[in-house]
Amino acid sequence: MLAEPLLDWYADAARDLPWRRTRDPYAILVSEVMLQQTQVARVVGRYEAWMRRWPTAGALAAAPVADVLGEWVGLGYNRRALRLREACAVVARDGWPEDLRTLPGIGPYTAAAVGAFAFGRHELPVDTNVRRVLERTGWTPARTPPELGQAVMELGATVCRARDAACGRCPVASGCASNGRVEVVPRAPARTRERFEDSNRWVRGRVVEALARGGPLPEGIDLGRLETAIAGLVADGLVIRDGQGLRLPD
């Protein structure tokens, strides 16, 4: 049985992350949406600032879209911020639904994470780290108390990593089918990669940031790139083009 040694290890080794100190479903939802494709270290400060500004689902639901998008700048994929606000509008109006997947933008993983970490449901949120641990250990937990999901996530993020599993310090190594068999995957030779500043995502972020601040469009960006980014933002409903020029949705 791997659950007991894993939970004992987690009690001592867990990173102190702000969303782990609460059972507030809104706070946990915010953290889960922010953490999608964004590193933990980058999220912590942004999460804390967000929670100071909008401490409840109702507060976020009442916030102007421009403010929400402005606060989200730098976290990527601005549509996530809009879906989060829409989900909070439903919660503020109707309360938390039994099936969290009925909320706008909430998929199976996020629903399971909020269900487990906020509502204490016996669900195992399966993200990339959790899936890796389960596959390597060959383990199918018979019981999935809420704290187990956090423990498995932590193990996958800090010990049972994708490229360099640290089997020598793994608390469940003795019961793991892959103990000592995980090959260290050498990093591929460095390739010439597009700088983020050269990407369309970067330009889109600069446009949203400028409009959120009420200022002019960013300078120093090629007009062709700027228009491509604006056209995409308009098509996505993140920017409105009208007789007054460009603006964020109300």
Which residues are identified as catalytic? 32
Q: How far is CA 205 from CA 35, 57, 60, 178, 236, in A?
A: 18, 25, 21, 42, 13
The pair of three-digit structure tokens given for residue 241, joined into one six-digit string: 């083009």
136, 176 contact by CB (below 8 A): yes
Query: b vs e for 181-205, b when ≥16 Cβ sit within 10 Å of the residue's Cβ?
Result: ebeeeeeeeeeeeeeeeeeeebbbb
**Side chain identity at residue 236, one-letter code:** D
**Side chain identity at residue 216, one-letter code:** P
60, 88 contact by CB (below 8 A): yes
CB atoms within 10 A of CB 155: 24
Per the listing, tokens 């599993």 go with 165
Alpha-carbon distance 73 to 208, whole Å?
7
Q: How far is CA 163 from CA 71, 160, 166, in A?
A: 34, 9, 10
119, 25 contact by CB (below 8 A): yes
